[in-house]
Structure 1
Amino acid sequence: MANKQRSRVVTKTHCTSFKVCKLIKLPRISPPADLYAALNNTSPKNNKLYNGYVNFIDYLLRMKKIDTKFYLILFRMLLYLEEHELQSRYNLKNQKLRCVSNKFEIIVPTLDKYNPFITIGDEVTIQSKDLQHSYNFKIINITWKKVYVAISDEFPISQLLENEVDISFHSVNWPLRCYHYVLDNMCHYNLENLINPKINTHHYILSKVDFDWVHKSVANNEEQKTAVKNILNNSSYPAPYIIFGPPGTGKTTTVVEAICQIRKEYRSKNILVCTASNAAADEIAKRLLHLLPHKDIFRMYSASKLSSDIDKQIYPRSNFINDMILYLPKEIFIWKKIVISTFVTCMRLVNLKLQTDHFSYIFIDEASQNIELESLIPFIVTNNKTEATSHAQVIIAGDPYQLGPMITCKKIEHLLGKSLLERLMECEPYQKVNNKYNSRYITKLIHNYRSKEAIIYTSNKEFYESELLCFKKKNTHSIISNWRIFSEKTFPVLFIEVEGEETRTPCASVYNEREINVVRAVVKELMLSKIGSRKIKGEDIGILTPFKQQKIMIEKYVESNNITVGTIETFQGQEREIIILSTVRSKIFVHNNKRHIGFLSNPKRCNVAVTRAKDFLIVIGNPLILREEKYWYTLWQYCKENNATIFVKNIEVFNI
């Protein structure tokens, strides 16, 4: 049954009325031999090239930003360094193999199911140190941190079991191959207006004609209305239009409103929506299905997606047929008016060879969460090489002050980890002039519909120039009843000061036992309390922490209450009535004579963490440590000024 549910490309036997779009095959791009030697400190073939690569890598580490004149070579090198770091993270030395049911079992301590590099079907090279032989195998199963490879009946198993071995993984790594494909094909297209936009000198006047707005909230929001009108009128073309959406300001609502208005005004125009995650793509699809004819909407999933995971509303409008994946042929695909996909799945459109003007609008959502080359995939796959110009108005929605893409090679994170959105906002059309953005190119949404004013205070002050306006009314009654500490308070933030001790695991993650105990105690009390007049349920609570080990350990204690526990990265884009944030950190580090708090020194991590709560934010941490960084200090000081801090010396005396 599981095999039937797993998505596969449909063959003619599954659906005789459709042709099947062949899968695009992307080759693995390997670094030049001397670059590989420079990365691994091994013997070079050409000393001059080797030394050149060493110097170039050193230059990359000191480079402040990407120079668009050297765009292709710089990004190519960055991808090589990132892949090398990923490879090094998982390769193993001096291991003893174990045989389980005619399979080799390999324990990989660094394996992470939330950000997988190793997948089923990848190759593994096992080299016997004593026998000086190497053997290649295929991964057939992965269970948590255990990887299993198939062994043929004729294989001399005992030879590898008796000796220590070195193990190296050769990942298919489809996303990295897509990024190389983008670089390989950029020379065929004129993307100058996309990667290095300039101000258009042509006269433009914002239309004063009002629309029949789909969302009542948009009708009362001048910033959202301005953005939608300018998008429909292609005000920034050929440059992208940016929807700068701080947390809770209705970014997705603005995107959905714009799509609906395009469909009403321009029935013949096609729209492509690309997002960094399936969750974001599904959210847009569900909202559109409530507002537009279902026949207009097509949600395209990847071949790895399980039919059992697809929302029932979306399933009939997706590329699933009889629980199998179908990639539509061009003759059918071109009739789909709104196509919604993740960036990487969008690569499937390459085979269709669409006309350059097929899509009139391309929306890039969650634009801060993916590397720049990922954001360029839609333009490479929807342009025709015979015409070197994109005809689409590009709309980029996101927030440059929220967390960006995950980069393994920390030395180049400042370059490869900068999203297209973040870099564009440094360009002239998107800069403030006389303290105002040019609405022809960018709109900053400023009405926060999610959180109480006190909850967004820190982010508003530190990141958004105190421009955010809180839509929610201030509390006049207690937020949490039945809980002694909070039953008479109206301030929606509580800072619980805990002098815990962080412990590092062999996998390099960190946990804090004392903070875990405080989290348990807080959850216990919350589950016996009310928010307003309503009893608090597990679904109302989210628990955030920066460290995976802390997440794992907290999860053990709260899973029966149906409470979501996640890292800050996984919670980006989500919200809950009540958020409990366990910061874990109890040490200060010094690097290049500068004091910092490691992982938590990233201001974007702080911004995301403190903006997920709607009604009540509880922060658990050590202020003596956290206040080393001004963002955390601002939060703690604000709580202190509002009598919203309590100090816990011993959990035993913390009778909550």
Structure 2
Amino acid sequence: LDQFVGKQLALLELERNEEVEQNTKLQEKYSVRELQNKGLCIAKLVLDCAHTGLYGRTICKFRSCQHGAPLPSHGFSNGDIVGIVVASDASREVVCSGVVSSVAQGNITLAFDESRATFDGDDGRIFNLVKLANDITYRRLKRTLEKLRKCREVRYNDLVEILFGTSSPTEVPILHPQQPLEFYNTSLDESQKEAVAFSLKQKELAVIHGPPGTGKTTTLVEVVLQCAKRGSKVLVCSPSNVAVDNLVERLSSTSLKVVRLGHPARLLPGIARHSLDAILARSDDFGIIGDIRKEIDSLMAAKSKSKDKSYQLYGKLGELRKELKDRERKAIGRILSNADVVLSTLTTASDDGPLKNLSESHFEVAVIDECSQALEVACWMALLRAPKCILAGDHHQLPPTIVSEAAAKGGLEVTLMERTLQRHGEAVVRMLVTQYRMHQLIMQWSSDRFYDGRLVADASVSTHLLRDLPGVEDNEDTSLPLLLIDTAGCDMVELDTPDDESKGNEGEADLVAVHVERLISSGVSASDIAVISPYNLQVELIRLRLSSRHPGLEVRSVDGFQGREKEAVVMSFVRSNDTGTVGFLAEDRRINVAVTRARRHLAVVCDSATMSRHDFLKSLVDYISEEGEVRSAREYSADLELCSSTLRPSSIRLKEAKKSASKSKKKPCQESTQKSQDVAKLKQPAKQKSGGAHYLKKPEGGANVQSPWEALVRNFADSADKQRSLPASMTAFERRTVHELAEKLGLIHISEGDGTERHIVLKKRTGQPPKSDLPSCSKEEKGSGKGASDGASGGTEACHSKAKATNTDKSKEDEPTVNGLTAPPPCFKTEETKNQPQRKKKQSEVKPTAARDGNANEEENFDELIAKVMVSDRTCGFERCNEKLHTALAGIGGPCPFCKRGFCFKHALPEVHGCGEEARTQARIAWHRSKGGTVAPSHVKPEKRAQVQKALDKRLAQMAESRKRQTKK
């Protein structure tokens, strides 16, 4: 025990020093404005009001110096230690420090100890609030360890010896063998009932292991009710306020007397009435306590206005504060003694909190929820107050946050729950195995990776999907439990931020925004969707794109979403780089938390090439690829064109761009247009087969990766077959690939049929040589002049086709790329056009290609090639059509916005020349954005409607009268 305490004290000191050092560096390195952008400072505040609070503390409320203005975005929350700095002080010296007690949109409230009660802030001065290292928590943890040294002399040494392995846990009979245990909650499953019974039987120690969605909180509520039924006083603690509030909310509906420790401003509105302050305000003692507080406030106000600083005034204040403390201590002691259950955070359960008004032997049972998220030292604050403890949590979820890497490696990150399970194993633990949250497929990966495959999805959730929700459409998005949107090979790299900054990926942020919009347009409520990312910068990027349009949508970090759940969860993994660096995504437990937040739909946006460098992340990508659906980011290109990708937080800092020598060696068609912020410029067809990461991964060295269609075309070129028809199910993009490769291999390629029956027919020319003998347009041959002097028409036409496809566009950035190579337009001339009769060319036009002389000037050949391209650019791009184009129809700006080619009037429609699929996709997007073209009905007041109806009836009567046949006289 002494060794443990000594080691923990040393590790805490490391953690404390690291926290102070980081805080000091930030204060010195950045200006007030930069600190405010980082959320570590709130500038230009004035004191709004001050009064006396619990234990005689001074409560000060600060607001913006511009009256009525909201506070800027910041990272302050309840319990943070804050320093007060005079804004005019260039040295930024902290004049006093306090604790944040509440935060509102327009103000922030701090609590100061009585030693700081003389803080004189109502003189109109402007202040800055800066976040400081939390010294209070450190002092409490240190005192707890010192108290643990003396634990051998107190009555709870049995529990201490069991937790440190010097003795084994024991059981006690809870009921007569013939009398079954009666549960308050009759809907508990078998594993939950077993965990409750086990917790009651154990004399000193029990552990309830609750994987995600298994009803751990429900089980704990039943345990607390059963303990209270047997007359035990119960202390319930957790490291987070959210977990404590959830338990208070559940227990408040029972007949138990529940008291929640902590400031009322930190609590959920529905449970504030159970707070100690609220109960104290309803007690008989509050009248006298309130009078004393008012008298203190009046003396403080008089002191600030008067120049008299006599000792008599200070003496009077001291006497009033002493009386206030005595009366509050007695009143609080009575309230806590009468309570059946007291709930608080672990740090509030320290000896300098409200529990100091109770005896050390008051509680019989201490329950610690989310034990795996707390430092072991913090758990001992509660454990030293009871002879029996029940630990609940999941050590496969997020661990406690530790700043110092040295302290973490030294053992500070090892939690009490982990150490207990390692020491005692199954003898002290019961696991909940039925989960009530996730679809079977969402659950299974986590179950296999972390819980030995023991989790079972309840029948009520095992097959539920978004489409089962009321008002939600049944479509390709709402019928999927698992979706992987793969950005590999799509140039959606992460932002190049400094190493000490958070990471972001604007391309993924745009994809997330598009997918969320599609879910909402399908009828899913924004409040049922959560967007989660491990990085705070990515959270900000996504909020900029979505929060203003959908206020009910939650966008949070993984750490801020533990314990929560949503019907649909969209995850952005951010990391996309050539080195395969995944950062703290390598923390397996963080990924487990993120995946298990979803109930009906989980969408993961990531770069599979980067994720696959890490075995654990690769297992997730592989699982979704097998059990769910994989879509390339290119399938969202049409939506991304309409999505703004330039929104950035004002505080973002990027590294200076460095030129890479390797980039200069790439072919022009392989060069990236920009980073992920320019992904909206991708012109790839939206409809593409979801083939997964294996063909989207960008190959090393720019090597081409064959698709199945490329392999099929090459196989036909090598075979003895003279003709082959390809299936009509090919997409427009696949047809492009086949046309390009067939042209390169010197094959005849013709599109036949109409509509859904349109397909490609490949033919060989008479006496065609093997493809290995055909000239190529490779980089090396271009550089050496090979192939240009070859008289084979196949090589000439292949080069011609590539040049034509390259030069029709004004910018290479607008061309789609696959595996680093530029895809050609969907419609271009085939070699069959050579056999058609040509019109006589004018003198100004280029002469037909003849057999070139081996010693021809290379520069003249290039000029001739350019001239041919210019001629072809003024010709209709549809195959076997030689119609000349007018200026308004040619090239970019022509009739087709998808392939950027010019066509004659006959072939101008996208459906005619092969871009029909892209046109239909664009039309669907426009239809969804216009809400189906409907117009919201106008609401007319009843009296106005009656007037209109009366006028209409009158007009109809007149028209009917005029149609009556007049009688002849």
Output the amino acid matched with 2:571: L
Number of aligned residue pairs: give it.
528
Aligned pairs for 1:420-569 (under 5 A) are: 420-427=416-423, 429=424, 431=425, 437-438=426-427, 441-472=428-459, 473-475=461-463, 479=467, 482=473, 484-486=475-477, 489=479, 491-499=480-488, 500-505=492-497, 508-529=501-522, 535-559=523-547, 560-561=549-550, 562-569=552-559
Q: Are 1:458 and 1:631, in contact at CA under 8 Å, matched by a contact in 2?
A: no
Aligned residue number for residue 254 of structure 1: 219
| Shift in alpha-carbon separation, 1:484–1:579, aligned structure 2, 3 A | same
Question: Which of 170, 175, 200 matches 2:137?
Answer: 175
Aligned residue number for residue 148 of structure 2: 186
TM-score if structure 2 supplies the norm length?
A: 0.49
Deviates more, 1:190-199 or 1:369-378: 190-199
Deviates more, 1:503-512 or 1:190-199: 190-199
Deviates more, 1:189-198 or 1:495-504: 189-198
Residue 272 in structure 1 maps to residue 267 in structure 2: no
State the structure with bigger RCO (CA 8 A, min sep 6), 1 or 2: 1
Output the amino acid matched with 1:567: S
Aligned residue number for residue 164 of structure 1: none
Aligned residue number for residue 60 of structure 1: none
Secondary structure class of the residue paired with 1:77: helix
Aligned residue number for residue 959 of structure 2: none
Residue 514 of structure 1 and its aligned partner are, at CA, apart by 0.6
Cα deviations by residue, 1:534-585 (Å, 9 ceiling, x for unpaired)? x421111111000111112212232242111110001000001111111111
Aligned residue number for residue 208 of structure 2: 243
Residue 467 of structure 1 and its aligned partner are, at CA, apart by 0.6
Q: Are 2:195 and 2:208, in contact at CA under 8 Å, matched by a contact in 1?
A: yes
Secondary structure class of the residue paired with 1:425: helix
Report the Cα distance in structure 2 between the residues aligned to 1:379 and 1:223, rounded to whole angstroms.
26
Report the Cα distance in structure 1 between the residues aligned to 2:533 and 2:96, rounded to whole angstroms.
36
Report the Cα distance in structure 2 between the residues aligned to 1:306 and 1:70, rounded to whole angstroms.
40
Q: Are 2:466 and 2:568, in contact at CA under 8 Å, matched by a contact in 1?
A: no
Report the Cα distance in structure 1 between the residues aligned to 2:31 and 2:483, rounded to whole angstroms.
50
Secondary structure class of the residue paired with 1:84: helix
| Shift in alpha-carbon separation, 1:96–1:172, aligned structure 2, 3 A | closer
Residue 229 in structure 1 maps to residue 231 in structure 2: no
Residue 368 in structure 1 maps to residue 372 in structure 2: yes
Computing the radius of gyration over CA atoms, which structure comes out larger, 1 or 2?
2
Aligned residue number for residue 572 of structure 1: 562
Residue 420 of structure 1 and its aligned partner are, at CA, apart by 1.2
Deviates more, 1:441-450 or 1:639-648: 639-648
TM-score if structure 1 supplies the norm length?
A: 0.71
| Shift in alpha-carbon separation, 1:516–1:183, aligned structure 2, 3 A | same
Q: Are 2:262 and 2:275, in contact at CA under 8 Å, matched by a contact in 1?
A: no
Residue 187 of structure 1 and its aligned partner are, at CA, apart by 1.5
| Shift in alpha-carbon separation, 1:241–1:449, aligned structure 2, 3 A | same
Aligned residue number for residue 184 of structure 2: 214
Q: Which runs of 5+ in 1 are unaligned?
A: 1-67, 129-133, 158-166, 383-389, 432-436, 530-534, 590-594
Report the Cα distance in structure 2 between the residues aligned to 1:627 and 1:418, rounded to whole angstroms.
28
Aligned residue number for residue 28 of structure 2: 93
Output the amino acid matched with 1:280: A
Residue 617 of structure 1 and its aligned partner are, at CA, apart by 0.7
Residue 181 of structure 1 and its aligned partner are, at CA, apart by 1.2
| Shift in alpha-carbon separation, 1:608–1:201, aligned structure 2, 3 A | closer
Report the Cα distance in structure 2 between the residues aligned to 1:199 and 1:183, rounded to whole angstroms.
21
Residue 465 of structure 1 and its aligned partner are, at CA, apart by 0.4
Secondary structure class of the residue paired with 1:183: helix
Residue 299 in structure 1 maps to residue 260 in structure 2: yes
Aligned residue number for residue 958 of structure 2: none
Aligned residue number for residue 598 of structure 2: 613
Report the Cα distance in structure 1 between the residues aligned to 2:16 and 2:208, rounded to whole angstroms.
32
Secondary structure class of the residue paired with 1:242: strand
Aligned residue number for residue 573 of structure 2: 583
Question: Which of 71, 74, 81 matches 2:4?
Answer: 71
Q: Are 2:349 and 2:382, in contact at CA under 8 Å, matched by a contact in 1?
A: yes
Report the Cα distance in structure 2 between the residues aligned to 1:406 and 1:281, rounded to whole angstroms.
19
Percent identity, please: 24
Residue 411 in structure 1 maps to residue 411 in structure 2: no
Report the Cα distance in structure 2 between the residues aligned to 1:364 and 1:261, rounded to whole angstroms.
16
Output the amino acid matched with 1:455: I
Aligned residue number for residue 331 of structure 1: 334
Residue 311 in structure 1 maps to residue 269 in structure 2: yes
Output the amino acid matched with 1:285: V
Residue 287 of structure 1 and its aligned partner are, at CA, apart by 0.7
Report the Cα distance in structure 2 between the residues aligned to 1:366 and 1:586, rounded to whole angstroms.
33
Aligned residue number for residue 160 of structure 1: none
Report the Cα distance in structure 1 between the residues aligned to 2:94 and 2:172, rounded to whole angstroms.
62
Q: Are 1:245 and 1:445, in contact at CA under 8 Å, matched by a contact in 2?
A: yes
Q: Which runs of 5+ in 2 are unaligned?
A: 34-42, 48-63, 65-71, 111-118, 291-327, 642-684, 687-920, 926-969
Give the CA RMSD over aligned residues. Answer: 4.0
| Shift in alpha-carbon separation, 1:203–1:623, aligned structure 2, 3 A | same
Looking at secondary structure, tell me which structure has more helix per residue.
2
Residue 458 of structure 1 and its aligned partner are, at CA, apart by 1.4
| Shift in alpha-carbon separation, 1:114–1:625, aligned structure 2, 3 A | farther
Output the amino acid matched with 2:213: G
